[in-house]
């Protein structure tokens, strides 16, 4: 089945699939967090803490009742685990077997590890964890066999063992990884059989389409080595067998699950606003955002200061289904101030009054989410919006 849809319909399908504008339900907060991770397939972990870290931020946008301890609780309950997706991520434990192809390739030397392989050293590390239980990198500083090497080789050995599947991260302490044997972390009843290539590729396709609505081969295989050709072939086969449909959006061909067009009947709550993490699943693929949402976005923390246009850590703002602004900000937790260094409205922006009302409500939630109590607006583009915004915000009413 092949059909054409408008760009607005394509945008709606993506937003519904991403659950970026969550519907009200009676689900328990922890269950809702788990459901979000299982639906999206992964939540990217990032170490940058200018505002709340990406994994917390992404989940908070999909679960208004999200609390930071929920991820730790889900890891402790063995419902989610850490591994590599296209980047470091929290993954659903039910999908554990689909991390095995990468682990197997690394273990067998078919794929190169990031760090030098020292099997003798790795065996020392593995034996200590086997005998002593979960350990962190710092726990190896006084190990007699390796004390002359320092802590860096220990970290590298731990990461090698983790990436090839012999160790897993059982918890974190102050964001530091705690490693344990895989067999002590994976719960009973989880499928640990290595999937075939066909099973793995079909999983990648269905997982991506469920969470993103529509997709092209390069989007499904994003940053996954040696998969694009396999994904392309599988998509064609699944379309031919009726498992998938094709959608034409302007001049672009996308694949989707057969029931996806029916989602267009689902109403989106109008006027909703979301301040997004740069690593949110919704917009992590920048080229896709430019094609589907006409939003040209680059995170500038990796750009030299002199070349930055919007700021160090600019957060995209979604309003009424469109990406309409970006906000460079920082949570100064000692003073309790959320600094808005630069809030830029897109050129095509309209209906400023309605946006301002929605933004003021959401920024107050965002301030509290970042453990702050006040807002300080430094700059807006256009400048006139700063006065407009300051009049609308009651700066001292956030406690």
State the pLDDT at residue 22: 65
End residue of a domain, out of 247, 265, 283:
265
What pLDDT, on the 0 to 100 scale, is given for residue 328?
Answer: 97
User: Are 81 and 220 in the same domain?
Assistant: yes
35 belongs to a structural domain: yes
Is residue 278 located within the same domain as residue 257? no
What is the average pLDDT across 353-382? Answer: 92
Asked, for residue 150, whether it belongs to a domain, the answer is no
Q: What is the pLDDT of residue 25?
A: 67
- Tell me, yes or no, whether 278 and 258 share the same domain: no
45 token code pair: 């972990």
351 and 242, same structural domain? no
In this predicted structure, the answer to whether residue 142 has a pLDDT above a threshold of 70 is no
pLDDT at 398 over 70: no
Whether residue 122 contacts residue 163, with contact meaning beta carbons closer than 8 Å, is answered with: no
What integer pLDDT is reported at residue 385 of this predicted model?
82
What are the φ/ψ torsions at residue 180 (nearest 5 degrees)?
-145, 165
Cα(27)–Cα(70) distance, rounded to whole angstroms?
14
210 falls within a domain: yes
Identify the H or E element spanning 198. helix 197-212
| Predicted confidence (pLDDT) at residue 143 exceeds the cutoff of 80 | no
Looking at the fold, whether 259 and 369 belong to one and the same domain comes out as no
- For residue 225, the model assigns a pLDDT of 87
Residue 13 lies in a domain: yes
Residue 165 predicted with pLDDT over 70: yes
Q: Are strands 314-319 and 337-345 parallel, antiparallel or unpaired?
A: unpaired
- pLDDT for 1: 63
Residue 2's pLDDT band (cuts 50, 70, 90): confident
What are the pLDDT digits (tens) for 268-308?
888 889 999 999 999 999 999 999 999 999 999 999 999 99
* pLDDT for the residue 23: 63
Domain with residue 316: its CATH number is: 3.40.630
Tell whether 227 and 330 lie within a shared domain.
Answer: no
97 token code pair: 């077997």
Mean pLDDT rounded to a whole number for the chain: 92
Burial class (CB in 10 A: 0-12, 13-18, 19+), 304: exposed
Residue that has been written with the tokens 């500038």 in this structure: 300
Beta carbons within 10 angstroms of residue 83's beta carbon: 20
**Does residue 111 form part of some domain?**
no
Residue 166 within any structural domain of the chain: no
325 has a pLDDT exceeding 80? yes
Same domain membership, residue 278 and residue 374: yes
pLDDT in tens, 251-268: 999 999 998 989 998 888
The percentage of residues in the chain with a pLDDT greater than 90, rounded to a whole number, is 77
- pLDDT band (50, 70, 90) for residue 24: low
Mean pLDDT of 37-50: 95
Q: Say which residues have a Cβ less than 8 Å from residue 280's Cβ, sequence separation at least 6.
A: 20, 54, 57, 58, 61
Better-scored residue on pLDDT, 391 or 196:
196
20 occurs within a structural domain: yes
Judgement on whether residues 257 and 290 belong to the same structural domain of the protein: no
The parent domain of residue 320 ranges over 273-392
For the segment 57-88, what is each residue's pLDDT rounded down to a tens digit?
999 999 989 999 999 999 999 999 999 999 99
Count how many domains the chain has: 2
Q: Are residues 196 and 91 in the same domain?
A: yes
Q: Give the separation between CA 231 and CA 203, rounded to whole angstroms.
A: 10
* Number of helices and strands in the chain (H, E): 14, 14
- Is there a single domain that holds both residue 381 and residue 306? yes
Q: What is the SS3 assignment for 251?
A: coil
In this prediction, residue 396 has a pLDDT band, given cuts at 50, 70 and 90, of: very low
Residue bearing the bigger pLDDT, 24 or 54: 54
Distance CA 211, CA 220 (A): 11
Residue 147: the pLDDT is 45
The domain boundary, picked from 265, 294, 315, lies at 265
Pairing of strands 322-332, 314-319: antiparallel
């Amino acid at each position: 089945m092949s059909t054409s849809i408008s760009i607005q319909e394509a945008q709606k399908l993506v937003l519904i699939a991403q659950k970026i504008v969550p519907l009200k339900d009676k689900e328990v907060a922890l269950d809702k967090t788990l459901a979000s991770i299982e639906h999206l397939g992964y939540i990217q972990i990032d170490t940058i803490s200018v505002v709340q870290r990406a994994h917390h931020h992404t989940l908070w946008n999909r679960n208004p009742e999200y609390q930071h301890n929920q991820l730790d609780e889900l890891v402790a309950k063995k419902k989610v685990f850490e591994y590599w997706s296209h980047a470091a991520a929290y993954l659903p434990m039910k999908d554990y077997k689909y991390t095995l192809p990468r682990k197997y390739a690394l273990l067998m030397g078919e794929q190169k590890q990031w760090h030098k392989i020292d099997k003798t050293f790795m065996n020392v590390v593995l034996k200590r964890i086997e005998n002593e239980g979960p350990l962190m990198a710092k726990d190896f500083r006084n190990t007699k066999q390796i004390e002359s090497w320092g802590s860096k080789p220990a970290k590298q050995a731990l990461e090698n063992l983790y990436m090839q599947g012999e160790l897993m991260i059982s918890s974190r302490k102050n964001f530091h990884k705690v490693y344990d044997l895989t067999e002590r972390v994976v719960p009973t009843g989880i499928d640990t059989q290595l999937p075939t290539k066909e099973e793995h590729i079909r999983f990648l396709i269905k997982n991506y389409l469920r969470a993103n609505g529509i997709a092209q081969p390069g989007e499904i295989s994003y940053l996954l080595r040696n998969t694009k050709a396999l994904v392309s072939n599988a998509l064609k086969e699944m379309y031919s067998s009726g498992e998938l449909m094709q959608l034409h959006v302007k001049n672009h061909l996308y694949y989707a699950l057969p029931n996806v067009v029916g989602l267009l009947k689902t109403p989106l709550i109008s006027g909703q606003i979301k301040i997004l993490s740069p690593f949110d699943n919704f917009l992590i693929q920048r080229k896709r955002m430019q094609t589907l949402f006409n939003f040209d976005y680059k995170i500038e923390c990796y750009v030299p200061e002199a070349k930055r246009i919007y700021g160090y850590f600019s957060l995209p703002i979604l309003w009424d289904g469109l990406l309409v602004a970006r906000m460079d900000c920082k949570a100064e937790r000692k003073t309790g101030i959320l600094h808005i260094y630069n809030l830029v409205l897109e050129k095509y922006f309209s209906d400023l009054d309605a946006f301002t009302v929605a933004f003021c409500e959401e920024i107050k939630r965002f301030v509290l989410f970042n453990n702050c109590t006040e807002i300080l607006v430094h700059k807006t583009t256009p400048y006139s919006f700063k006065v407009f915004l300051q009049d609308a915000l009651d700066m001292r009413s956030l406690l």
